[in-house]
Chain A
Amino acid sequence: MIPAEFAEPAFTDPWHAQAFALTVHLSERGAFTWPDWAATFGAALAARRGVHGALDGGADYWAAWLAALETLLATRDMAAPGDVARMRDAWEAAYLATPHGAPVTL
């Protein structure tokens, strides 16, 4: 535990910010309530702790956040795991096929 009085960046990796914003936005649009989110996220943190041991609140925190979001969207039939996996692979292929510096599109 490091006492830190200095301003830390809110997000250390752009995808943390994206996952956070996606969750807040979906909640604001009524996709789920915040207590529902907190319960799912709490369970994801506990599951991750069971596998990886004590969490440090950094990258592992956001990994649990993303897992919780995927779970919540799957159980609410908003984003099926198969669809998400295919889309992930499509993006990966697009990055690998796009010359460095060019915009990556599907």
Chain B
Amino acid sequence: MPHDHHHHDDDHHDHDHSVLPSDPALRVKALETVLTQKGLIDPAALDAIIDTYQNRIGPQNGARVVARAWSDPAFRARLLADATEVVAEMGLYGRQGEHIVAVENTPDTHNIVVCTLCSCYPWPLLGIPPGWYKSDAYRARAVREPRAVLAEFGVTLAEGQAVRVWDSTAELRYLVIPMRPEGSEGMDEDALMALVTRDSMIGTGLARAPT
């Protein structure tokens, strides 16, 4: 809990009572209580969801998909044809029934993903989006000036490499398959996974070069 201790009387420094949660924290608690009393939610399910997103789901899931696509041409072909089905087979379900589309970077085209409406994101593959993905600055500029945004992320594209911007929706989420880095020939899937960064799967980064 945050330490913003609300005092109704500034001269009165009484810490005997429990630390008062922030106003939004109290409002969420109130919603939970009202909905629980009406039988509209199961409080235990909330804890399970939080545990899942805090501890079990993250970019390592997407990295596994990318590493397999790099290693297995048949898997790659299926992934590009129907990512929703392929990732579901791997147990990576979209909880909102959304479709997942894999877009592959090539020497000709670099892909970058944004959500201009809110913050739609392939949760089962990448977890909860980072703060910058949710910022107005990114959401507006990724569409308007993707090359400038990429430069700020330290990504310089080859001359002649086009940028394609994908705008996510509630129904459609994108996973970028970054280009397999040079020098990674012969590496197995587990080793390749370590080269796949979160940002490389959003398109604001490239895969790491092997060291």
Tell me if B197 counts as interface (CB < 8 A to partner A).
Answer: yes
Bound CA–CA A15/B29 (angstroms): 8
Bound CA–CA A63/B54 (angstroms): 20
A-contacting 9-mer, from B10-18, B68-76, B179-187: B10-18
User: Would you call A5 and B197 a contact (CB within 8 A)?
Assistant: yes
Nearest residue (CB) in B for A59 is: B24
With A66-B28, A99-B17: A26-B41 Cβ-Cβ less than 8 Å: yes
Question: Please, how many residues of chain B have a CB less than 8 angstroms from a CB on the other chain?
Answer: 66
Shortest distance between the CB of A54 and any CB in chain B (Å):
4
Partner of B134, one of A18, A39, A61: A61
Partner of B31, one of A24, A49, A79: A79
Nearest residue (CB) in B for A27 is: B96
Secondary structure at the A interface, as helix, strand, loop or mixed, is helix
Shortest distance between the CB of A34 and any CB in chain B (Å):
4
With A25-B45, A95-B20: A15-B97 Cβ-Cβ less than 8 Å: no
> A interface vs B, CB < 8 Å?
1-5, 7-11, 13-15, 17-22, 24-29, 31, 34-35, 37-39, 41-42, 45, 49, 54-58, 61-63, 66, 69-70, 73, 78-79, 83-85, 87-88, 90-92, 95-102, 104, 106
> B interface vs A, CB < 8 Å?
1-2, 15-35, 38, 40-42, 45-47, 49-50, 53-54, 58, 95-98, 117-120, 127-128, 130-138, 149, 152-154, 169-171, 197-199, 204-205
